[in-house]
Amino acid sequence: MPDPAVVNASPLILLAKAGRLDLLRALGRDLIVPDAVMEELKAKGSDNPVVQSVTNAPWLRVVSVPSTQQSVAAWRLGAGESAVLTCALQYSDPLEEVKVGRPR
């Protein structure tokens, strides 16, 4: 199975608002949402429809990211973005997907 995909807040928000969060499943891999991203979503309230959609999608796995890698922290991004990059860097060859969408 391919490495998991790590999802940031923007695609979750846009797809949930469009009622198409299920499109993420088309990636054919495990989907990870760092806890910092989930906290960003919850900033609008835990009763927010986006939060409810993400929470009710059993195929999205919210994970704790222990600490931001120093190389990522140097970029001074938000907590969610930093958690996404740190989490993605834990998996092999994170740039593989950029290579013209070639299958592994």
Q: What is the mean pLDDT of each run of 10 residues along the chain (104 residues)?
A: 85 95 89 93 91 93 83 81 85 50 47
pTM: 0.78
Give the pLDDT confidence score for residue 23 in this predicted structure.
Answer: 94
CA 31 to chain centre: 7
Instruction: Say what the pLDDT of residue 102 is.
Output: 45
